[in-house]
Amino acid sequence: MFLGANSGRSVHFGESVRRAVLLLLLVLQASPCTGLALPKRLVLGLDGIAYRDMKSLQQGVVCTNIWGRPFRRQAFTSSEGYFPASRLVSTFPSTSDVAWTDIFGDRPLPGYQRTYFSAAANSQIVINGITTTMEHESQMNWQLQNNMFRTMGYVYPVHTYELEIHEALRNFWNDMDNNGGYYVYIRATDDAQHLDRDILDMLCGLDNQLQAMRDRYRKQAGRDLQILILSDHGHNHASSFKRVAVRSFLEKAGYQIMESIKNPKDVVLPTTGIEDWVEIHNAPAATITLVPLLTHLEGADLVTGRVPDQPDRFLVMNSRGERADIDWNPANHTYRYSTEKGDPLNYQPVIETLAREQLLDADGFATADAWMAATLTNHYPLALERIVRGLTRVTLNPATILISLNNGYVHCGFLMQKGADLSTFGSTHGALDNLNSDGMVLSNFTPTRDTSSKRVAGLFDDFSDVRNFRAEENGAELVTKTEQALTRIAREPFDSDYQVLSSNEVYLRVWSPQLAHLDLNAPVNVTIEKVNHFPNPQNHRLVSGPAAALGRHLTFNQPVAFSDPPAYERVYALPSDLVLKPLTEYRISGWIRGQSKSLNLFEFDFHTDGRGRPAAY
């Protein structure tokens, strides 16, 4: 029996038709053989959903409606098949780009924020946060690409969120050639909380939509849809905010806020958004003086820094002047916490627990996992590992000092202070404490356990099926051996091939599906020209004559020979005579010759180092 879609009446078919229909259904469902299959898993990255919010929603929350009547909210319950949410402890700072990059094990980004300090270029570099797309975003099957809508998220976060969810779920059904995960990144959940919107209501709406999606999926695919929801950090929901006066504080102490570091008292303070942490880049020798000084900054909770000339020793102080050292053994992944005065992290009870359980070695070190187990529910979860990673490897240009602010204080730029009314501001994140740090992981197909941004991929097959965007899009980047070595999860051939590169050399990595049709030695033409921040249409394009001395034309046709490179990618050594103006911004663009016209492959900006060589990050 078959129910006609329009008539609603039963229609009877003969045996042969019935067999044909059955066969067709079988073909549609036979995923691995035909490739015609819906994704088996929906992986939903919800920016900034706090563990405590999801946990309370799972347990049920009593809220009050506009008429003052109490009502109960509950979502993602066990009766719907969800397991209890677990903590996903963020990076420090607990900010989006840094944490998502860590969650997916990607190569660290140049900076914590899209305005960052490049040590190689000795310059503060500004990347447009709206129009740029980071690796973790490109790896998604769906994320909001429209710049106008991304901007709208800061003004109308709930509408943008609804649009994001609607579009992501609609596009899921078009992905009929995916036997793995369908990865979605939703960013307006974070915007909504910054602007004090009702996040629990938004999550209840999502739960309803996912239930409807699961019903349809079960009917269409004949199996249950696996759902995995991840978030990158918490949100503090502080009731009011005060701006920390870190700039004037440093200036009063005789320091100069600069765009580069040339003198011992120069400091760089890259700032974007409104968050409760501060990054400071200073001459390394100044760290020892600056850390104790900054504990007097109103709003500072903890001040952490890397001890100069001791690459594996770090310093943590609190606003009461208490001080401890953190020692790191990178080879063994072990850490030691030694109090000098007081106990800034209040970790003495943790040390006692570790000692009792015989988890400390003779020198007082314990493994990262032992520290994690002992501090997961602490006020400062996984603090040693997160402070050390924050000051060394969660970004390619780590700060010399990271400040974690008290909830109720924020750091923001001057323009942001003028443009944003802090009284309408609802919540933030970035600090080291659990409110800011505890994101979450929630699944309906496997029980989860408390984990961290560094470890969560290990629980889900390293997210090995994220989208390989380099095979599908055009792009390029400058790479070096040392930065590539910081990629935690190797997914593409280059993630291990990079080892044959020379140290201290910068390479151009180009990818495009177009390259797959071309000979390995087909030329890639490149133009390098100085970025003119005050464009003069007369010399905007590269011209011959004196202006051309500022730029170069290059042809690359001899890629680095790897054993089994992907057809869509080439990696070229930059010529040794490519010396440009030192500490200057340039734009590089590249194209290949197509059948009738040239095809643009990429265009991006870079800075040169003190010798005039391109700086990769």
- Site residues for Zn ion per CB under 5 A: 47-48, 96, 190, 232
B/e letters for 371-405, b = 16+ CB within 10 Å, e = fewer, are bbbbbbebebbbbbbbbbbbbbebbbbbbbbbbbb
Rounded to the nearest whole angstrom, what is the least distance from the CB of residue 569 to Zn ion in the complex? 30
Nearer to Zn ion, 426 or 559 (CB): 426
Q: How far is the CB of 441 from Zn ion (least distance, A)?
A: 14
Length of the chain: 617
List the end-to-end C-alpha distance of the chain, in Å, as a whole number: 64
* Nearest distance in Å: CB 100, Zn ion: 7
Query: How far does CA 420 lie from the centroid of its chain?
Result: 24
For residues 228 and 445, give the distance between their C-alpha atoms in angstroms, rounded to a whole number.
Answer: 8
What ranges in 173-314 are assigned the alpha helix state H?
188-194, 199-221, 246-252, 287-294
Our CB check for Zn ion shows the closer of 96 and 400 to be: 96
Return d(Cα 325, Cα 304) in angstroms, integer. 10
The CA distance from 376 to 573, in Å, is: 45
In the complex, residue closest to Zn ion by CB? 96
Indicate the residue among 354 and 412 with the shorter CB distance to Zn ion. Answer: 412
> Across the beta sheet with 507-511, what order do the strands follow?
475-479, 507-511, 569-573
For 422-469, where are the E strands, in sequence order? Answer: 438-443, 451-452
What is d(CA 347, CA 334) in angstroms, rounded to the nearest whole number?
A: 16
Q: Residue 275 or 609: which CB sits closer to Zn ion? A: 275
Output 190 or 385, the one with its CB closest to Zn ion. 190
Q: Toward Zn ion, which CB reaches closer, 98 or 588?
A: 98
Q: Which is nearer to Zn ion, 115 or 287 (CB)?
A: 115
Nearer to Zn ion, 99 or 258 (CB): 99
Supply the minimum distance, in Å, between the C-beta of residue 190 and Zn ion. Answer: 5
Adjacent-strand bridge partners of 44: 184, 229
Asked if 101 and 108 count as a contact pair (C-beta separation under 8 A), the reply is yes
Kindly state the smallest distance separating residue 407's Cβ from Zn ion, in Å: 17
Closer residue to Zn ion, CB minimum distance, 48 or 157: 48
Least separation, in Å, of the C-beta of 222 and Zn ion? 36
Is 393:486 a contact under the CB 8 Å cutoff? yes
Smallest distance, Å, CB 189 to Zn ion?
Answer: 8
**Other Cβ atoms closer than 10 A to 598:** 10
Q: Which is nearer to Zn ion, 111 or 305 (CB)?
A: 111
Alpha-carbon distance values, 540 to 295, 550, 605, 608, 614 (Å): 48, 12, 15, 20, 21
Element at 435 (helix H, strand E) = helix 434-437
Angle between helix axes 368-375 and 348-356 (nearest 10 degrees) is 120
> Could you count the other beta carbons within 10 Å of the beta carbon of residue 200?
16
Q: How far is the CB of 128 from Zn ion (least distance, A)?
A: 18
- From the CB of 108, what's the least distance to Zn ion, in Å? 16
Q: How far is the CB of 565 from Zn ion (least distance, A)?
A: 34
Please say which residue, 51 or 591, places its beta carbon nearer to Zn ion: 51
Dihedral sign for Cα 304, 307, 312, 318, please: negative
Residue among 101 and 480 whose Cβ is closer to Zn ion:
101
**Under 8 Å between Cβ of 425 and 275:** no
**Residue type (1 letter), 568:** Y
CB-wise, 96 or 437, nearer to Zn ion?
96
Minimum CB–partner distance for residue 597 and Zn ion (Å): 41
Min CB(187)–Zn ion separation in Å: 8
Residue 260 CA to residue 252 CA, distance in Å, equals 19
Min CB(231)–Zn ion separation in Å: 7
Burial of 331 (0-12, 13-18, 19+ CB in 10 A): exposed
Q: Give DSSP secondary structure letters for 254-273.
A: T-EE-SS--STTEEE----S
